[in-house]
Chains A and B, each alone.
Chain A
Amino acid sequence: MSKKLYVARSPRIAARKLGEEMLVMSAQGSTLFTLNPTATVLWQAADGATPLDEIVERRICAEFEVKPEEAMRDAEALAEDLAKHGILLISEQPISQQPISQQPAATVDFPVQERARR
């Protein structure tokens, strides 16, 4: 049986939903990202306490028409991608959350819209 994975939003970001899109700015290089709907759901549910498989089952599979196995594979890849950009933290243990500055909402064509600021 594979180990549980926990995900948490990085405290080193600022995020806000504008219209139907979630914009996330990372302190790492002042880079701006736009999350697609799946990434937004994952990102919003990433409280550090809920295992990734539960997020997939209760949130992603509930909102999108996708098979659980496929959703889990995609979610793991997405989480790693978000973590690589400093947006998400991943651990095999629950992650204690610090308050972060965000106004929760839902939405990545991630990481299709990434732009380093001038």
Chain B
Amino acid sequence: MPGLATQVERHNVVIAIGGVPVRVNSTDPGFLEMLENRYAGFVGEEAHAEFDFDVDLAAPASADPDADVSVKHRSGRWFMERGDFHAEWEPATGKGWIRQSANPYSIDAVLRIVHTLVLAKQGGFLLHSASAIRDGKAFLFAGVSGAGKTTISRLAPADATLLTDEISYVRKQGEDYFAFGTPFTGELAKLGENTSAPLAALYLLAQGPENKIEAVAAPDAGRELLANMLFFAEDQEMIHWAFQAACDFVHRVPVYRLTFVPDARVWEMIG
């Protein structure tokens, strides 16, 4: 009946990272256009999405961008909060809701959190690492800020496909691990390619006076992997899954310490 209700037109964009399509709904076409540009290469036309998020845009808050994020689970629902956003997500229904201002950073954080939660139970994870595909095989290059993720990405030869220079997406399929491209960028500010390949090795980066590769024993590999995994939830079950995922990974995938001189010769050792 006209006049009694207002039909609110909602538009959407589907962002598929790691093969997981997430539909983002908003009444603001300008916001969605911004997301289409931000996630170019990862925006799909899928009618089906595994998860659906309604975004309510609010006025920008004076938030501390370095504030810690809080991720808590209650009654089947995840509550995610940082100074610049509040989000809720119910895995059983796939429905979620985000309140934020019209910026790409808040939803980026929500997507990272949701993907870590989804991946954990499947034995996968997001990792502070660059990653690339060469000769059909994927390689991870993990390290703290300054360890060389951006450098090794910059030095990648033409026949390497860069998946990310900052946050890698690792998924377990059967007993094998695959690396997927991500739009999560570091200093290179270049989106990864939206493709994937079976993982051949994890390299723990260190810069030094010569190029060398050394095998890393399982306990050290596990510790370093855990130190570089993105992990948000202070939740017992999630900690269990993340821990087991790291332990399983280092049993299946070779882990090496890659000390390198920052020039292109390091890639002669990869692949």
Contact = CB atoms under 8 A, between A and B. Distances in A.
Interface of A: 11-12, 14, 16, 18-21, 23, 25, 27, 29-30, 32, 34, 101, 113, 115, 117-118
A14 B222 contact: no
B219 A25 contact: no
A34 B234 contact: no
A16 B223 CA distance: 12
Nearest to A20: B219
Binding site of A, secondary structure by majority: helix, strand, loop or mixed?
mixed
Binding site of B, secondary structure by majority: helix, strand, loop or mixed?
helix
Nearest to A100: B240
B34 interface: no
B246 to A, nearest CB: 9
A34 B223 contact: yes
Contacts of B236: 11-12, 27
Given A12-B236, A23-B222, A34-B223, A18 B247 contact: yes
Contact of A118 (B218, B227, B234, B239): B227
Interface of B: 144, 217-219, 221-223, 226-227, 229, 231, 234-236, 239-240, 243-244, 247, 250
B134 to A, nearest CB: 28
A73 to B, nearest CB: 29
A115 B223 contact: yes
A86 to B, nearest CB: 11
A113 to B, nearest CB: 8
Contact of A14 (B144, B219, B229, B244): B244
Contact of B231 (A14, A16, A20, A30): A30
A105 B117 CA distance: 28
Contacts of B239: 14, 25, 27, 30
Given A16-B244, A18-B247, A25-B243, A30 B223 contact: no
A18 B218 contact: yes
The 5 tightest CB contacts between A and B, nearest first, are: A14-B243, A21-B219, A18-B218, A19-B218, A14-B240
